Amino acid sequence: MLRQELPEVKSVLGKLAAIGQRGPGAITFEPVLGAGADLRPTDANLSELAHTVDTLRASPVPFTTDRRDAALAQGGTSLGGAFPKTAAHLRLEGDVIDRREILKGGEPPPGFAPCLLKFARSSDEAESAVEFAFWLMAKKAGIRLPRACLVHDGECCHFASERFSRYRRPAGTPARRHDHTLNGMLHRRASDGAIDYEEFMRLSRRLGGASEAQECFRRALFNVLATNRDDHGRNHAFLYDETDRSWTLSPAYDQNPQVANVLIALTWLGSTQIPTQFASLLRMAEIGGISPKTTREIYTQVEAATVGGWRAAARQAGVPAAMITY
Ligand SMILES: Nc1ncnc2c1ncn2[C@@H]1O[C@H](COP(=O)(O)OP(=O)(O)OP(=O)(O)O)[C@@H](O)[C@H]1O
Ligand SMILES: [Mg+2]
């Protein structure tokens, strides 16, 4: 039966049909191919999934074309990003939740939140804990964030965050928000070269006014101070509110250490040098219409959360001691 579906998956329309209703953002495709519509949530064994992911990562040629097409028809779509992840419905209670089985597909039942779960590598136990520690630091830094936690599958922990492009209307019906990356907003592809924080700041201010300019500046400082150098144009996004037709910065995601001695993703005022002078921060703030007083307040809060807060956040997240020092 799957074989009959394969030619369809191979066409562009076939791929959109396979995405069906599972994709990120608010756009869905009809008719749906294969299991793309999956109306009912079902249980999946998390540690088995994690082992399969590990095997695929270790294999130089993980999929034949046919298997890839079959997986597309079954699994709907990629959720974006370089690392393996899955959509799951979770009860978000506390920092770490124990789940051997996760619910996948359909709409989340009452009490469950639609989440994106990033599979940890079995060879790198600290990976998920570090991402969660960064989430804790970002929260302390006052950054807008999705709810998040670590999911322990009995063997290791995976990082999960609530999908911000999904929500429930007051009547309880599920709804979706349009989600557009910084790259997309600027009509830029990854291969088009670096985006500058100045462009990000001007766009945030133009779309969302003073509040979004400040949010952008807070994230810029966080990424500089927390050594998140991989903050490329697909690691920032905007959400569209259809009711009041406004754009805001989406909750922040993919905040991870990427220690490099130059800025390898977004540049700062045309330079790949890491800003070290307060004057350079003030110049960026000025582009966002942020006063020097507010700039200092944001700086003080972000510095306390990152430079001053790493050890506490990392301990809370369960990062091993050697990794905390590193
Ligand atoms: N909480 C969330 N809600 C909705 N979408 C999200 C959420 N977190 C991440 N995303 C989307 O999923 C994509 C992949 O997530 P993320 O960037 O964390 O993964 P990654 O594999 O580490 O990415 P990268 O390739 O940048 O290393 C993001 O680019 C973003 O569009
Ligand atoms: Mg990413």
For 268-304, the pLDDT digits (tens) are: 999 999 999 999 999 999 999 999 999 999 999 999 9
Q: Is the pLDDT of residue 7 over 70?
A: no
- From CA 220, how far away is CA 302, in angstroms rounded? 10
Half-sphere exposure of 66 (CA within 13 A, CB side): 3
The reply to whether ligand 1 has any atom less than 6 angstroms from the CB of 108 is: no
Among residues 281, 305, 264, 285, the alpha carbon closest in space to that of 143 is found at: 305
The reply to whether ligand 1 has any atom less than 6 angstroms from the CB of 81 is: yes
The pair phi, psi for residue 111, each rounded to 5°, is 90, -10
Tokens of 233: 């144009």
Atom 4 of ligand 1, residue of closest alpha carbon: 163
Among residues 163, 157, 114, the alpha carbon closest in space to that of 133 is found at: 157
Could you report the per-residue pLDDT of 165-174, keeping only the tens digit for each?
999 998 888 8
Q: Is the pLDDT of residue 3 over 70?
A: no
Report the pLDDT value the prediction gives residue 6, as an integer from 0 to 100.
47
CB 305 within 8 A of CB 111: no
Q: Is the pLDDT of residue 29 over 80?
A: yes
Atom 18 of ligand 1, residue of closest alpha carbon: 254
* Ligand 1 center to 32 CA (angstroms): 24
Contacts of residue 251, Cβ cutoff 8 Å, sequence gap at least 6: 144, 145, 146, 164
The reply to whether ligand 1 has any atom less than 6 angstroms from the CB of 164 is: yes
Could you report the per-residue pLDDT of 218-263, keeping only the tens digit for each?
999 999 999 999 899 999 999 999 989 999 999 999 999 998 899 9
Atom 31 of ligand 1, residue of closest alpha carbon: 80
- Ligand 1, closest atom to CA 253? 8
Beta-strand pair 148-152/96-98: parallel
Could you report the per-residue pLDDT of 69-102, keeping only the tens digit for each?
777 666 655 677 778 899 999 999 999 999 999 9
Query: Which of 254, 255, 258, 266 to mutate for ligand 1's pocket (most ligand atoms within 8 Å of CB)?
Result: 254
Averaged pLDDT score across all residues of the chain: 90
Atom 24 of ligand 1, residue of closest alpha carbon: 81
- From CA 276, how far away is CA 153, in angstroms rounded? 42
Report the pLDDT value the prediction gives residue 35, as an integer from 0 to 100.
55
Strands (E), the chain: 42-45, 85-90, 96-98, 101-104, 113-118, 148-152, 157-162, 166-168, 174-176, 178-181, 237-241, 246-249
